[in-house]
Amino acid sequence: SANALRLNGGSPIIENSTLKADQSAAAYGVEGTGAGAHTVRFDHSVIDGEDFGIRLSSGNYTVYVGASLVQGGGNAFAGTIRCVASYKADYTAVNTTCN
The one-digit pLDDT tens for each residue of the chain (99 residues) are 789 999 998 999 999 999 999 876 789 999 999 889 999 999 999 999 989 999 999 989 999 999 999 999 999 998 999 999 999 999 999 999 999
For residue 22, the model assigns a pLDDT of: 80
Rounded to 5°, the CA angle 60-49-52 comes to: 45
Per the CB < 8 A criterion, the answer to whether 53 and 72 are in contact is yes
All structural domains of the chain with their residue ranges: 2-13+24-84
pLDDT recorded at residue 1: 72
C-alpha to C-alpha distance for 17 and 45, rounded to whole angstroms: 5
pLDDT at 26: 83
